[in-house]
Amino acid sequence: MAETNGEKKIIKPPVLYRETQQLITEIENKTGTKLLCYWNSVNGNICQNDVMVLYETIKDWGVQEKLYFFIKSNGGDGKASLRIINLLRQHAKKLVAVIQGECASAATMLALGADEILMGPLAFLSAVDTSLTHELSPVDRNNNLVSVNQDELSRVLKLWNKESNHANPYHDLYQYIHPLVFGAVDRASSLSMKLCSDILSYHMDDHGKAEEISRRLNEDYPAHSYPIILREAQKIGLNARELDKELNDLFFSLNNLYSQMGQRAYTDFDENNYHNNEIVNILEARNMQIYYQNDQDWHYRSEERRYISMNDQSAWYVMSGSGDKKEPKVFQIR
């Protein structure tokens, strides 16, 4: 889809409300259970505003005996994950996480809040060791702050102590990483452990087991993106099992529809200017879909070696009710 702006056409992604609603209805009829969908594009993430959107979606539901929670995300704010689980547990006696593909980092924390995790053949969780982008972090070649995580710092210190003749590595490392970043990353790692334990406590009475699962997810994997597939999820103590093939195919189709909505939607004006109109976060249930859409210009400021945002009209939009002819309305969050 495209919208004319002078001589240029602004690329706009499709909003497939009718199609996604049909699939959600089909899945609910097959399972006999309400379904809530949470989907992020590669440029979206779990954020605090999602909690408000989720509340708007389920506030009139009452308490469900069972709730299916479809998650696709590469992560985000773990504190928002805790708030989301806290909200969902007030509306469901049994929460079932459905993972068809990626469910990484803070999204793995969401899955930890479920009594049961259903995983398809493409599904994976990930480690949850926290990375941090601090105001005093190092910068990359585009002058953007880079993230630093506890595992990286620990490995540098371990190699330094093993191979260097210098007794104290910090004098040299502080030239590249500010000491406050070291402290902030250590604090973030402790936060990640607590978040996992607190989320697991919503359905797990064995606190020792919850702490062990939290420790393994935070410390045992050599890469933050290490894929924790079904077998590994079961090995570390999660109540995970295989997703029914017919259901997996339906969720695969649903993910494809969301992927069409979340497709890249950049309009290049020239080498230094472009417009971004991408849909990045989608939350949906029967008769309601709420999504966040970027709507902003970006200009490359060469003297600063970075892009700056201009004319930002990005917003949450809501589609509700049934029928084919539905127009999105702005959903205000401040």
In this predicted model, what pLDDT tens digit does every residue of 169-192 receive, in sequence order?
777 777 778 777 766 666 566 778
Domain ranges in the chain? 2-127+221-331, 131-186
Domain 2-127+221-331 annotated CATH 3.40.50: no
Burial class (CB in 10 A: 0-12, 13-18, 19+), 183: exposed
* Percent share of the chain, pLDDT over 90: 69
For residue 54 the two structure tokens come to 């989720």
Please report the pLDDT score of residue 132 as a whole number.
54
Q: How confident is the model at residue 4 (pLDDT cuts 50, 70, 90)?
A: very low
Q: What is the Cα–Cα distance from 326 to 281, expressed in whole angstroms?
A: 19
pTM: 0.86
Amino acid (1-letter code) at residue 102 = E
Q: What is the Cα–Cα distance from 142 to 136, expressed in whole angstroms?
A: 16
Please report the pLDDT score of residue 7 as a whole number.
64
Average pLDDT estimate for 219-237: 91
User: Across the strands, what pairs with 92?
Assistant: 64
Please report the pLDDT score of residue 5 as a whole number.
46
Mean pLDDT check: name the lowest of 57-66, 94-103, 139-148.
Answer: 139-148
Q: How confident is the model at residue 161 (pLDDT cuts 50, 70, 90)?
A: confident
Average pLDDT estimate for 97-103: 97
Pairing relation of β-strands 34-40 and 8-11? unpaired
For 313, residues 6+ apart whose C-beta sits below 8 A from its C-beta are 295, 296
Q: What is the Cα–Cα distance from 142 to 128, expressed in whole angstroms?
A: 27
What size, in residues, is the chain?
Answer: 334
Please report the pLDDT score of residue 160 as a whole number.
73
pLDDT at 3 exceeding the cut of 60: no
Q: What is the Cα–Cα distance from 73 to 108, expressed in whole angstroms?
A: 9
pLDDT at 48 exceeding the cut of 90: yes
Residue 74's region, left for phi above 0, alpha for psi from -120 to 50, else beta, is alpha
